[in-house]
């Protein structure tokens, strides 16, 4: 069975864009815990039913249930050569549990400084009529629709900095953990999207050729 890839990085680092490229390159399905939880609940699997109890009560789904869902997901035919984990693991205990049920062949870390993340997210504006996303600096909207653009409630500097703080305290230590195991591939995410994509592609191809 092939190994899985973990995609790692702070909120706003551009993981979603790069995940698509990795899926296209490797054929590994993208697995996010949110999508997996929703699918398991909808399919009413044993683990899905267990997760639903926590979700209905407004509680965090415990790691043991998430790991059970991942184990279930890895038995599906499209996961025979591994998957792309997006947004998981988030903590070292989760990574230790994951190592017991899946072979992680590489961890791609997209690194972007906090100030650049804040600029990216706080500058985002959405057109409520079309759902299109613009940016006041990097991708300004046409002047005729500018007046109707809105900023999402959680795109404020205060909220973004709080999310980054949580990321640095809980998730960032994973970089050192995976680095010690020789699995971490760091990518400079503070450059144009195409350049980041080329770097990610290079990292994935290097992993595939090993």
Which amino acids are annotated catalytic? 15, 90, 124, 152, 163
Q: How many CB atoms lie within 10 A of CB 204?
A: 22
Q: How many CB atoms lie within 10 A of CB 62?
A: 12
Q: How far apart are the C-alpha atoms of 30 and 7, rounded to whole Å? A: 10
Place of tokens 């092939």: 2
Nearest of 129, 156, 154 to residue 142 by alpha carbon: 129
Q: Which residues pair with 124 in a beta bridge?
A: 135
Nearest of 80, 90, 18, 101 to residue 60 by alpha carbon: 90
- C-alpha distance from residue 132 to each of 39, 149, 152, 177 (Å): 27, 10, 12, 38
């Amino acid at each position: 069975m092939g190994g899985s890839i973990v995609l790692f990085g702070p909120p706003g680092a551009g993981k979603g864009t790069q995940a698509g490229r990795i899926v296209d390159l490797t054929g590994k399905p993208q697995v996010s815990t949110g999508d997996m939880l929703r699918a398991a609940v909808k399919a009413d699997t044993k683990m899905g039913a267990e997760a639903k109890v926590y979700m209905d009560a407004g509680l965090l789904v415990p790691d043991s249930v998430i790991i059970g869902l991942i184990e279930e997901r890895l038995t599906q035919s499209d996961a025979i050569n591994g998957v792309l984990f997006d947004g998981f693991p988030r903590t070292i205990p989760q990574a230790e549990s994951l190592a017991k049920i899946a072979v992680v062949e590489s961890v791609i870390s997209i690194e972007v400084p906090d100030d650049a993340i804040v600029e990216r997210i706080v500058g985002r504006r959405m057109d409520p009529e079309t759902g299109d996303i613009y940016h006041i600096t990097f991708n300004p909207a046409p002047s005729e629709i500018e007046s109707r653009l809105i900023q999402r409630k959680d795109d404020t500097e205060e909220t973004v900095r709080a999310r980054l703080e949580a990321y640095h305290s809980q998730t960032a230590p994973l970089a050192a953990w995976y680095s010690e195991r020789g699995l971490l591939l760091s990518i400079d995410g503070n450059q144009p999207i195409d350049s980041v994509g080329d770097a990610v592609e290079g990292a994935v191809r290097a992993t595939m050729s090993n």
